[in-house]
Structure 1
Amino acid sequence: MSTVPVSPQLLEAIGVYESINRPLPSAKFAKLPSAYAASVHRKRHEFPKEQMPNPHWLACGVCGRKAEYDLGLIAVHPDVHPSNPESADLAQGLGDQFQCTGYFRCKYCNAAGPWAFVEDFTLFLMDALLRLSVEGPIEGFPVRPGHLKAFDGTEPKWATDLETHILGLIAQTPDDAYLWNRLGNVYRRGGVPELAVIAYEQSIQRDPRQVESRISLANLLYDADDFDHCIEHAHLALLHAAFYRRLPLQSLHELLCSVLRNLLASSLLKDDMSLFFPPTELAEEIAADHGLTAHPGARVLELPELHLNIDDLRSFSEVAMLYLGAAVPAAE
């Protein structure tokens, strides 16, 4: 039976008061307060990966047992190494000056560290930096120089550090939908989509207008082949987007293009192109909630032709702009 690492702090935050000293077994996901966690968990190994696997052997500092974990994207702080990655100064401190996005906890005791590397991790980083210095940026490569900064400027080393930080903030303001969205992003980037959907669901329960959570949820459900619910959340994301102010316009435009792509694919897979357009009644309801007589996105139906290409996100730009009700500045 497959298991997933879950923080006891997360379980408490969603109202599950259960002592847990091991990863959560699959059967438990159906009992969590989530409409989608169990189905997403069943499909988790089919989800697309943002970068190539990055497994490393670590020893848990709590129980002492060793296992292999995917560290995800590793950011090596550029200030700790000179331009020559083979210099003698590189090894000194390099193994400590990094951050990673992969979400994992001990496979045996569920602890979130401390961790000790079993292999020579510094040598791995030196080899990776040398390759980057020779070849330049490599798509999907799991190491890059730089810093990983959270939404509030913090720079956690491990994904579980950021999880603990955000859950601490949520404990103070449990109804902050934006914090729940940021927690969902930690899990999504960390490779645990079933935990991501839980956080996004918590987010939209607190604020149904949380567009980022709607989009992320729709895209995850598309990857889980749950096309009906993908379409539902995509429609709501599109209709609330014109009134969302938590993101720069360009960033929101890019997110809308991604969800429009998955909305189109879902509509085609269900052999019903009318599903690509949110219901008129829903658009009117949301417009009225914002004090408008008509929704800006209604103009999509006025387009003479839709030249959309599932393989080209740029082809969705015009439709996204109509839902936003504004012109989007060109990306630099």
Structure 2
Amino acid sequence: MPKKQINPKLISALTGRELDSISPSPINKDLGGKYVKTIIDRKSKIEPIFQKNEMMMQCKRCGQKGKYDVGLISIDIPEKKEDIDNTIRQMTGYFRCNHCNAGGEWEDSSEVLMLSIMTLLDPDEFSDLCQIGKMQLYDGTSHQYATDGEEHLLQKIAKDPNDGFIWNRLGNLYQKGGRPELAMAAFEKSIEIDPKQMESHYSIGTLLSEVNDNQQAMHHFHQMMLTAEEYKQMDAENLRELLSFGLHVAFDIFIHSNGKIPLFPTTDVLLSFGKELDGETYTLDFEIHPDDLTSFYPIAESFMGKRVNEIPKKKRIKTAASLFKGKSK
């Protein structure tokens, strides 16, 4: 029976259990989480970030071959011609051996080599499957396989288990790797550690919206809105961009629910954050054009509070400091 391709070290990090108490081939149930099962059950509804790219690969640990979705292949060509034999092919797809559950240490197949050669000859023709360049994680490190990147991030988590930001980055790695159920587990852990991890609320909301769990999706988009003002892990322009993407999805949910799912946080939710509207209702005097992401910029800036002042004036849409009185708790 094929393995679920889950790293036992991930389960240990998620649950705090000792590694030797965990099966070498964990199952989906081991992931826990409030939303993970929903993602597993409705996974077919989720649009992958990268095009499906199945290749025959051979595990160096057990010698078994199998077809795996390797994701986007990136060819890192050495600068010196004499090092050409050391060309590294990186893969975004998160996959582990279906037989022994090992991650990494793969023998490239003729399919991978052929695609690499064709990409070198005509980079534009195969850009959805293979590209020339080097992929890096947020900290500048570069890894051949997604499982290598996972090991790196899990080591960082082991050193600082209470860093919700690293859990968010691990979730991003899984999401790019075509494993939304693992991503959701990591994002949920991220907000368990840090309820104000704004990027994780955005990602949870986005995934839940893709599987039509719109009520819960909106809950996390509201959390995204209310944590934006104090979120320091992004520069202001990127923060506005992320907020705008989230607001765009939230607006779509609001419209399709005929207004039954509120677009903005209710009074009770605001109070739980120690916030109070600077007026009786949300005052947003501008038009939204769903096909134009920048039309959401004014709302995004309103939720950014004083952080909007970090955006150069010529790039700013408005100058209001905040929608709210006072500050978050």
**TM-score interval, normalised by the smaller of the two chains:** 0.7 to 0.9
CA distance in 1, matches of 2:2, 2:169: 26
Q: Give the aligned partner of residue 131 of structure 1.
A: 122
Which of these residues, 109, 116, 121, is aligned with residue 100 of structure 2?
109
Distance 2:3 2:277 in 1: 44
Cα distance, 1:3 vs structure 2: 5.8
Say whether the 8 Å CA contact 1:23–1:109 is kept in structure 2: no
Q: Deviations over 1:297-316 (max 9, x none)?
A: x799212343231x432322
Task: Verify: 1:4 aligned to 2:4, yes or no.
Answer: yes
Rounded to whole Å, the distance in 1 between the matches of 2:161 and 2:61 is 30
- For residues 1-332 of structure 1, the aligned pairs below 5 Å read 4-15=4-15, 18-22=21-25, 24=27, 28-29=28-29, 32-80=31-79, 92-93=84-85, 96-132=87-123, 141-272=128-259, 275-288=262-275, 294=276, 301-309=282-290, 311-325=291-305, 326=308, 328-329=311-312, 330=315
Aligned AA for 1:8? P
> d(CA) in 2 for partners of 1:121 and 1:272?
49
For the residue of structure 1 that corresponds to 2:170, the secondary structure is helix
Query: 2:201, 2:221 within 8 Å by CA — same for their partners in 1?
Result: yes
Amino acid at match of 1:154: T
- Give 5+ residue unaligned stretches, structure 1: 82-88, 289-293
Q: Deviations over 1:97-156 (max 9, x none)?
A: 2212110001121111310023253331121232226x6x95xx1222221111211111
Separation in 2, partners of 1:2, 1:265: 38
Helix, strand or coil: the match of 2:134?
A: coil
Distance 2:99 2:22 in 1: 15
| Residue 3 to residue 305, structure 1, CA distance change in 2 (3 Å) | farther
Partners of 2:109 and 2:117 in 1: CA distance: 17
Question: Matched residue of 1:14: which SS?
Answer: helix
- Bigger Cα displacement from structure 2, 210-219 vs 265-274: 265-274
Post-superposition CA distance 1:257-277 (Å, at most 9, x none): 111111112222322266111
Structure 1 CA distance for aligned equivalents of residues 150 and 280 of structure 2: 41
1:178 match: secondary structure? helix
When residues 78 and 107 of structure 1 are mapped into structure 2, their CA distance, relative to the original with a 3 A threshold, is same
Please, which moves more after superposition, 273-282 or 14-23?
Answer: 14-23
| Distance in structure 2 (CA, Å) of the matches to 1:4 and 1:276 | 37
| Structure 1 range deviating more: 123-132 or 189-198 | 123-132
1:197 partner SS: helix
Superposed CA deviations along residues 210-269 of structure 1, whole A, max 9, x for unmatched, are 101111111111112111110001001101101110111111111111111111122223
Q: Aligned partners of 1:219, 1:299: CA distance in 2, in Å?
A: 29
CA distance in 1, matches of 2:281, 2:50: 35
Q: Is the 8 A contact 1:90 1:126 kept in 2?
A: no
> Could you say if the C-alpha distance between residues 295 and 158 of structure 1 is closer, same or farther in structure 2, counting changes exceeding 3 Å?
farther
* Matched AA of 2:85: G
Q: Please report the TM-score for the alignment, with normalisation by the length of structure 2.
A: 0.84
Segment of structure 1 superposing worse, 175-184 or 120-129: 120-129
- The amino acid across from 1:130 in the alignment is L
- How many residue pairs get aligned? The number is 308
Q: Using the alignment, how far apart are the partners of 1:47 and 1:277 within structure 2? A: 25
C-alpha change, 1:196 and 1:189, in structure 2 (3 Å) is same
Normalised to the residue count of structure 1, the TM-score between the two structures is 0.84
Q: CA RMSD of the aligned region, Å?
A: 2.7
* 1:287–1:295 Cα contact (<8 Å) kept: no
Whether the 8 Å CA contact 2:3–2:97 is kept in 1: the answer is no
Q: Please report how far the alpha carbon of residue 78 of structure 1 lies from its aligned counterpart in structure 2 after TM superposition.
A: 4.6
